[in-house]
Amino acid sequence: MCPTGGIVNLPNLRTYVESDGGLLVTSFFNQAGEALCASLDRLVDPWGAGFRAMEIIDTAHIAKVDRMGTSLKDKLLYCYTENITPHPVSNGVKHVYYPVVNLRWNRCYTTPPIVLYDKSWTPLVRAMAGSYNAKADKLYDWQEPLGKEDVICAVRTVGRGRVALLSLNSYYTFYRPYTKETAFG
C-alpha cells in the first residue's frame, strides 16, 4: 500500500467489509518485512489484530516434505500443526503445513504470527504448543526466541461482513501451488 493510497483505500475497505463484504488478508512480507507488516497493521488494527515481522517456528513438528530440510539449520523447511479449532471454515482439516524460511535478508518471513487484541476473533489455526517466534540475521540464521504468538489463521465478523487473516506468504498459497518451479520450496 502506498502512503497516499492507504489514506483513501483503507477507509473504503473497512466500509466495504462492514456493509456485508468479505475480506481475506494474507501476509506478503517480500522485499521489506517490517514496512509491509506496518502496512498490514494499519488495515487490521481497527479490528483488533496485527502481524509481527517474525517467523513462527516449531522444531518439534517439522514436516517430512520431499527435498526440504529436516532441522532448523537447513533454513528451508516446513512445520505442521494439528491445533485447528472446529469451525465451518475448518471442517475436515486435520493438519496445516506452513513454511519456515526467511526468503531474503530483509526479513521476508513466510509465516509471521498474527496477534489478536479483540476477543471477537476466532483463531482457527494455531501452531502447536512449544512453538516460538524468531527473526533471522543477514546470513539467514534464526536468532533467539522473541515470543510465543502462535496464531496462523483467524476469522471474525465486522458489522455485517467477515474478515479472515491468513499468515502464510501468498507465494505458498496463491502462486506456488500452481507452478512447477522448485525454488524457495
pLDDT tens per residue across span 109-151 = 788 899 999 999 999 999 999 999 988 777 777 888 888 999 9
> Does a structural domain hold residue 3?
no
Predicted local distance difference test score (pLDDT) of residue 65: 80
> Does a structural domain hold residue 2?
no
Predicted local distance difference test score (pLDDT) of residue 76: 74
Model pLDDT for residues 75-120, shown as the tens digit of each residue: 778 899 999 999 998 999 999 988 887 666 556 778 889 999 999 9
pLDDT at residue 173 greater than cutoff 80: no
Predicted local distance difference test score (pLDDT) of residue 68: 77
> Does a structural domain hold residue 81?
yes
**Domain of 96, in residue numbers:** 46-178
How many structural domains does the chain have?
1
Predicted local distance difference test score (pLDDT) of residue 168: 82
Q: What does each C-alpha distance from 71 to 62, 77, 102, 110, 113 come to in angstroms?
A: 7, 7, 15, 17, 20
> Does a structural domain hold residue 85?
yes
Predicted local distance difference test score (pLDDT) of residue 31: 58
> Does a structural domain hold residue 60?
yes
Model pLDDT for residues 14-69, shown as the tens digit of each residue: 899 999 999 998 887 665 666 677 778 888 899 999 988 888 999 999 988 877 77
pLDDT at residue 6 greater than cutoff 60: no
SS3 70: coil
Q: Where does residue 60 rank: exposed (0-12), middle (13-18), buried (19+ CB within 10 A)?
A: exposed
Predicted local distance difference test score (pLDDT) of residue 2: 46
> Does a structural domain hold residue 16?
no
Predicted local distance difference test score (pLDDT) of residue 99: 86
> Does a structural domain hold residue 1?
no
With beta carbons less than 8 A apart as the criterion, state whether 132 and 57 touch: yes
> Does a structural domain hold residue 6?
no
pLDDT at residue 153 greater than cutoff 50: yes
Predicted local distance difference test score (pLDDT) of residue 1: 44
Quote the pTM value.
Answer: 0.86
| Angle between helical axes of 33-44 and 3-18 (0-180°, round to 10) | 40
